[in-house]
Amino acid sequence: MDIPYIVKPRPDTGVFNAKLGIWLFLASEVMLFGALFSSYVLLRLGSPDWPRGSSILNVPLGTFNTIVLITSSITMVMAWASLMLKNFSKFKLYQGLTILLGAVFLVVKAFEYGAKFEHHMFPKTSVYFAIYFTLTGLHAFHVICGMVVNGYLWGPGSKMWKTQPERFTNRVEVSGLFWHFVDLVWIFLFPVLYLL
Amino acid sequence: MTSEHDQEHHGEHEHHSFEELNKHIQKHVRIYISVFAALMVLTIVTVAVSYLHLSMGQAVALALFIAVIKGSLVACFFMHLISEKKAIYLILIIAAVFIVGLFFGSILFHSDIVKN
Amino acid sequence: MAAHPNTHHDHHELPFWRKYIFSTDHKIIGLQYGITASFFLFFGFCLMMLMRWQLAYPGQPLPIIGQYFGDANMPGGIMLPEFYNSLGAMHGTIMVFLAIVPMVFGAFGNYVTPLQIGAPDMCFPKLNAISYWCYFAGGIIMLTSFWVPGGAANSGWTSYSPLANIATTGQTWWLIGMVFLITSSLLGAINFIATIVQLRAKGMTWFRMPFFVWAQLVTAFLLLLAFPPLEAAAVMQLMDRLAHTSFFLPSGLVVGGEVMEVSGGGSPILWQHLFWFLGHPEVYVLILPAFGIVTEIIANNTRKPITGYKSLVFSVLTIGFLSFIVWAHHMYLTGMGTRVSAFFQTTTILISIPSVIILTALFISLWGGSIRFNTPMLFALGFLPMFGIGGLTGLPLAFNATDIPLHDTYYIIGHFHYIVAPGTIFAIFAGIYYWFPKITGKMMNETLGKIHFWLSIVFMNGIFMPMFIQGMAGVSRRWYDGGSSYDIAQGVLYLNPIMSISAWLLALSQIPFLINLFWSIWGGKKASDNPWDATTLEWTATPTPPPHGNFKTPPVVYHNPYDYSMPGAKKDFTPQNQPVEA
């Protein structure tokens, strides 16, 4: 007996298996980042002198990175749409752009971290920096993981387009959902850490 | 097993021709681009309002309000939540948000009382 | 030409290591979880037996084996306090995270769930294998921590800051081990939920699912949503220990007479919130699958449908939801305000209601039944009053005022052990005796089983009932001398040897079980495909043992899960996949 609903959705739920799986995973990720955000709230409320984000972090760079991630989100969904339209070369283009934009994000982040380290600002310097580095570090880790998966689907994984195009399209959709989530987390991280 | 005709089962839709699918996807692409534009605008707004001289509570509320709108746009349109079949996803998300919100709220509550 | 999504109907046999070691078959993985969890159950039990020597005869050298623990732990065979603390912290950690949950969720859940819903395997078989090996890795890390300098973690299974922050290296190993275990549970939870939602066979509607599956579903949601905050907390405590951050360290903390050189500004209470946010749902993870196992066995051995199936389902869903908003009842002594305290007292009392409904439904299900007192049923029946005691002793703990004198005393230890030990562990035994024939094709010996049951229930009570008395007298938990140097404890010290001897006798009582288990695999009476005359699919729709892929053709379900003694039926049980006469 084969496992059903790997490619075609189950009629009553309307989804194929991996899509349900990734949404469940994202629900757990909401709890993970939610716990860190809640920790941020508790630590900040208990602190007599919490600095304003804009006085410590580089707002223009943060804004730029926000735009980069949002753009990568649309290129990601366009990559999937291209596959739906059977346009494999367009998929390669958009998927490649998504990965590239992810790399840009990380480069900017690395630059920001480097600048902080140069000024002797480390996680141990204060609770503000501890939560800043942890939140953005965990987020960056998710960006890296997303890039690895997207890279695999762009490269060696794309062979599946020839043999099982629908299943490959599903894989791109599912990894796209993860990528959008990474963007979503940043949409909250940016104002909380950089502006408030 | 695999379809003989060009039937794409895109979750909620069934298309009987590739042309129909094409039109459907193009409509979605137009939505994606509008959402992208909205997100850009909202990002500028987020940064702009941070320069207003608001009290902490107001600044937090406003920043989170805008972030929730942006997040909902990403979730509903880029992640197709709005067109998924059952309320499964909305329930999933609501459940998670609810729990986090409660967690959030309770900690706020607690630290408030402790300070007093 | 189009490739099959799943080429498991193999034309070539898989090599041994892929068939049995890195298997992706849920049944093999279930057995792997079961074997590994059994080892940890035994190991955790041994840790406790060591502790109980110290508690019964504090400061006395442990005869014969005491010399083998090394001078860092037991010089001259006499237990050091630090080692006692390690034993305590690791007993709790191992029992909860490495033994019980992997057994009731990883082992029973994996083996039985796909069979009961008519699925060929789990939704994501490779992910299932990864979950198991993550658990295995976490277990190795936890075990290895006993041999690092300073020994294993010794800050309680709860690892409260700031003590855990400054503890020896073993605590870092504990945190890393937890990250692996949490990852394993998260991946497993995703698999279970997706499987139950997507892979139910035709006709297996939600309310035709055996209650066992409902219990596994809610358990999976608890794991999915409650574990991540602990993962976040573990990362933060690791950063505190390794990167010298101060997430959980307050300003001005003095250790050993010196102010700590950290930034400060952190909050020890934050750790407690994050830990118990997982910690409370975790205890429901420990009990819900047990409810599921016991329900299957009671239905089968009363030969009647469970009374209140729908109540059971709605109760377990309610427990799942409420379990997320009761956590601070573990923190009544942290100085919270009355409003917050009132909130948590209310939710905690509320959550007792569905638990009582479940227990009551199971008790009422016995009424008018044609009860078969075989070994699985004995353990299932024993579970009911034992869990009842555990649950009822929890009621004073729900209220802040009555919790204050009882918090962190032996009363608490008695309360939760009644639930997990003669509670969940009895359910585990019941499940092993019940499903053994399906897995091995042999029956276990009934006489040995009955001896195992009666000895176990006597000694379980011998260990845990006196704990309530000690707790109410004021004996604190985690005192390594069992209270012998405390005035308030003098009147109840006599109970320590009684509890310890009961523990060692409980260990001996497992010998008939072990003999039975191993002997029956080869020499047991041959079992038919459905020796219990059960109604659920794992018995009625697949041979013994089930082959890879479980079902030759997808089963179709026509009946409710517990259609025993249906009026007009030919037999006193109606298999779920038996077609309805036109």
What residue segments make up the domains of chain B, in order of their start? Answer: 1-85, 86-116
Task: Provide the shortest C-alpha distance from residue C343 to chain B (in Å).
Answer: 10
Residue C368 has pLDDT above 80, yes or no: yes
Output the 3-class SS for B24-90.
HHHHHHHHHHHHHHHHHHHHHHHHHHCCCCCCHHHHHHHHHHHHHHHHHHHHHHHCCHHHCCCCHHH
Q: Half-sphere exposure (CA, 13 Å, Cβ side) for C416? A: 19
C-beta of residue A26 within 8 angstroms of C-beta of residue A177: yes
Inter-CA distances, C485 with B35, B103, C470, C481, C506, Å: 70, 41, 14, 7, 28
CATH at residue A85: 1.20.120.80
**Taking all residues of chain C, what is their mean pLDDT, rounded to a whole number?**
95
C-beta of residue C550 within 8 angstroms of C-beta of residue C115: yes
C37-62 pLDDT, tens per residue?
Answer: 999 999 999 999 999 999 999 999 99
| Cβ contacts of B17 on chain A, cutoff 8 Å | none
Measured CA to CA, the distance from residue A67 to residue A70 in angstroms comes to 5
B56-111 pLDDT, tens per residue?
Answer: 888 988 998 999 999 999 988 999 888 876 655 665 666 666 666 666 666 666 65
Residue of C nearest to A165 (CA): C2
A20-66 pLDDT, tens per residue?
Answer: 999 999 999 989 998 999 899 889 988 888 999 999 999 999 999 99
Measured CA to CA, the distance from residue C500 to residue C482 in angstroms comes to 11
A94-106 pLDDT, tens per residue?
Answer: 999 999 999 999 9
Measured CA to CA, the distance from residue C562 to residue C574 in angstroms comes to 8
Residue C135 has pLDDT above 60, yes or no: yes
Measured CA to CA, the distance from residue C565 to residue C582 in angstroms comes to 20
pTM (2 d.p.): 0.94
User: How large is the average pLDDT for residues A74-102?
Assistant: 96
**ω into C546 cis (within 30 of 0):** no
Residue showing tokens 């379809």: B3
Residue C190's nearest CA partner among A171, A167, A19, A185 is A19
Residue B73's nearest CA partner among B82, B83, B62, B60 is B82
Among candidates A5, A21, A130 on the partner chain, residue whose Cβ is nearest the Cβ of C246: A130
Q: Is C303 helix (H, G, I), strand (E, B) or coil?
A: coil
Single-letter amino acid code for the residue at C526: K
Domain residues for the domain of A75 are 17-195
| Cβ contacts of B111 on chain A, cutoff 8 Å | 42, 45-46
Position C581 scores a pLDDT of 78
C-beta of residue C559 within 8 angstroms of C-beta of residue C208: yes
| DSSP-derived pairing of the beta strands C254-255 and B13-14 | unpaired
Number of B/C CB contacts below 8 angstroms equals: 36
Measured CA to CA, the distance from residue C167 to residue B42 in angstroms comes to 47
Quick one: angle between helices A88-118 and A165-190, nearest 10? Answer: 30
Contact A63 B43 (CB under 8 A): yes
Q: Tally DSSP H helices, then E strands, for chain C.
A: 21, 2
Class of domain C22-248+262-540: mainly alpha
User: How large is the average pLDDT for residues A132-139?
Assistant: 97
Residue of C nearest to A10 (CA): C198
Position C533 scores a pLDDT of 97
How many Cβ atoms are within 10 Å of C173's Cβ, its own excluded? Answer: 21
Position C451 scores a pLDDT of 98
Residue B8 has pLDDT above 60, yes or no: no
- Write out the H or E segment, with its range, that includes residue A104: helix A88-118
Position C8 scores a pLDDT of 47
**ω into C162 cis (within 30 of 0):** yes
Interface test with C, best of A6, A12, A127 (most C CBs within 10 A): A127
User: How large is the average pLDDT for residues C454-483?
Assistant: 97
Single-letter amino acid code for the residue at C476: S
Task: Provide the shortest C-alpha distance from residue A185 to chain C (in Å).
Answer: 15
Contact A41 B107 (CB under 8 A): yes
Among candidates A21, A38, A122 on the partner chain, residue whose Cβ is nearest the Cβ of C123: A21
Residue C114's nearest CA partner among A3, A153, A120 is A3
Residue of C nearest to A9 (CA): C198
Single-letter amino acid code for the residue at A4: P
Residue of B nearest to A37 (CA): B104
Residue showing tokens 């109606």: C574
| Cβ contacts of B72 on chain A, cutoff 8 Å | none
* Count of structural domains within chain A: 1
Single-letter amino acid code for the residue at C329: H
Position B92 scores a pLDDT of 67
C-beta of residue A77 within 8 angstroms of C-beta of residue A179: no
Contact C263 A130 (CB under 8 A): yes
- Torsion angles phi and psi, residue C312, rounded to 5: -60, -45
Measured CA to CA, the distance from residue A41 to residue A188 in angstroms comes to 13
Mean pLDDT lowest among A7-11, C448-452, C500-504, C534-538:
A7-11
Measured CA to CA, the distance from residue C443 to residue C432 in angstroms comes to 11
Position C2 scores a pLDDT of 40
Among candidates C231, C247, C267 on the partner chain, residue whose Cβ is nearest the Cβ of A32: C231
In C199-267, which ranges are continuous DSSP H helix? Answer: 211-242
| Cβ contacts of A70 on chain B, cutoff 8 Å | 36, 39-40, 43, 74
What ipTM was assigned to the predicted interfaces of this complex? 0.96
| Cβ contacts of B95 on chain C, cutoff 8 Å | 225
**Taking all residues of chain B, what is their mean pLDDT, rounded to a whole number?**
76
Q: What is the DSSP letter of C202?
A: B
In a domain, A96, yes or no: yes
Query: When comparing pLDDT for B5 and C473, which is higher?
Result: C473
Give the model's confidence band at B11: pLDDT under 50 very low, under 70 low, under 90 confident, else very high: very low
| Cβ contacts of A15 on chain B, cutoff 8 Å | 11, 84-85, 88
In a domain, A130, yes or no: yes
Measured CA to CA, the distance from residue A62 to residue A48 in angstroms comes to 26
Handedness of CA C327, C389, C493, C472 (dihedral sign): positive
Measured CA to CA, the distance from residue A118 to residue A125 in angstroms comes to 13
Neighbours of A, requiring at least 3 CB pairs below 8 Å, are: B, C
Position C130 scores a pLDDT of 97
Residues 6+ apart with CB under 8 A from C79: C50, C53, C54, C62, C73, C480
Q: What is the DSSP letter of C547?
A: P
Task: Provide the shortest C-alpha distance from residue A117 to chain C (in Å).
Answer: 14
A48-57 pLDDT, tens per residue?
Answer: 889 999 999 9
Residue showing tokens 């080692």: C83
- Write out the H or E segment, with its range, that includes residue B13: strand B13-14
Measured CA to CA, the distance from residue C271 to residue C161 in angstroms comes to 7
In a domain, A191, yes or no: yes
Contact A81 B22 (CB under 8 A): no
Contact B100 A31 (CB under 8 A): yes
Q: Tally DSSP H helices, then E strands, for chain A.
A: 7, 0
Task: Provide the shortest C-alpha distance from residue B9 to chain A (in Å).
Answer: 7
Handedness of CA C496, C499, C504, C505 (dihedral sign): positive
Buried b (16+ CB within 10 A) or exposed e, A108-118: bbeebbeebee
Residue C377's nearest CA partner among C310, C450, C439 is C450
Among candidates A6, A34, A47 on the partner chain, residue whose Cβ is nearest the Cβ of C265: A47
User: How large is the average pLDDT for residues C305-318?
Assistant: 96
Single-letter amino acid code for the residue at C415: H
Inter-CA distances, C164 with C149, C170, C174, C266, C366, Å: 16, 10, 10, 14, 48
Contact A17 C232 (CB under 8 A): no
Give the model's confidence band at C4: pLDDT under 50 very low, under 70 low, under 90 confident, else very high: very low
Q: Is A168 helix (H, G, I), strand (E, B) or coil?
A: helix
* Residue A126 region by backbone torsions, left for phi larger than 0, else alpha for psi between -120 and 50, else beta: beta
Measured CA to CA, the distance from residue C93 to residue C153 in angstroms comes to 10
Among candidates A46, A84, A196 on the partner chain, residue whose Cβ is nearest the Cβ of B21: A84
Single-letter amino acid code for the residue at A46: G
Neighbours of C, requiring at least 3 CB pairs below 8 Å, are: A, B
